[in-house]
Amino acid sequence: MAAKAKSGNAIVETIKTIVYALLIAGVFRTLFFQPFWIPSGSMKETLLIGDFLFVNKMAYGYSYASCPSLIMPRFGINVDAEDICGFAKGDNTRILGGDPERGDVVVFRHPVSGRDYIKRLVGLPGDRVQVKDGVLFLNGEAVKQVPAGQFEEVMARQGPQGLTPRCENGPVGEGGACTKSRFVETFPEGREHVVLNIGDQGSDHTPVYLVPEGHFFFMGDNRDNSADSRLPQAAGGVGFVPYENLIGRADRIMFSSAGRSMLFFWTWRSDRFFKGIE
């Protein structure tokens, strides 16, 4: 009987340990840092498919969007942040709120779908944002762009979804060199980052968008391969993003995998360990 009692106690203690660990992990993820895996190429070359990073949730304070989501379709799990903290949604405010800066790379909740997106903040409240002939204009002034060579990658399927890159140098066979024009863009405040160009398309020519109070305008660095604020929500895009939908700022890549899974350590990119995000 004593052996059975000890066995039962061990099982209870194991369950307690797991529950406590999950609670601690949940609190840590809610208050401090949230892991994020880059699924698409919309932020190349700043972020590549397979980059793994932690999002700094302390940077902008906390809102309903700070609650973690747990979405695992394979196991039928779909717990959204709004399911947990939806009671706090709607007032577009934050606790211990901090102001994001132009040029920050931000993870936010899509205002309609609720999915997590990562883009660069280009438009602040009150800004007039427009893209003309592929050049970003802020408040009527062109943002400086300087040609900086080419971005080159291998034409191959990337990440768990097996996405293939788009190339400026036309149709490229598997294993070939896929290139895009590369530019260094400098915001009025002096912050620099790299943007890529593939070709002329509709998103290179937009109307003037006036960013509402309490909202922000986001764009991907891979300008011709990004669904972002240039497309209104009514048309299936991101549109203006409310302050309360910000999750946090991406500051540093922890590691990066060029394979189908982050567990395939032999595909990790050695040059991206702890790489700062500019």
- Break the chain into its structural domains and give their ranges: 1-31, 35-270
Residue 193 dihedral angles phi and psi, to the nearest 5°: -160, 165
Contacts of residue 190, Cβ cutoff 8 Å, sequence gap at least 6 = none
Contacts of residue 117, Cβ cutoff 8 Å, sequence gap at least 6 = 107, 108, 109, 110, 218, 238
Instruction: Could you please state the CATH topology (level 3) that the domain comprising 35-270 is classified under.
Output: Umud Fragment, subunit A (2.10.109)
Q: Work out the burial of residue 121: count CB atoms within 10 Å of its CB; fewer than 13 is exposed, 13-18 middle, 19 or more buried.
A: buried
For the chain, the C-alpha Rg in angstroms (whole number) is 21
pTM, whole model, 2 decimals?
0.87
pLDDT in tens, the chain (278 residues): 555 555 556 565 555 555 544 444 444 454 567 889 999 999 999 999 999 999 999 999 999 999 887 766 676 777 788 888 888 898 999 999 899 999 999 999 999 999 999 999 999 999 999 999 999 999 999 999 999 999 999 999 999 889 999 999 988 999 999 999 999 999 999 999 999 999 999 999 999 999 999 999 999 999 999 999 999 998 889 999 999 999 999 999 999 999 888 888 899 999 999 999 99
Cβ distance 198 to 168 under 8 Å? yes
> Could you give the residue numbers annotated as active site?
42, 119
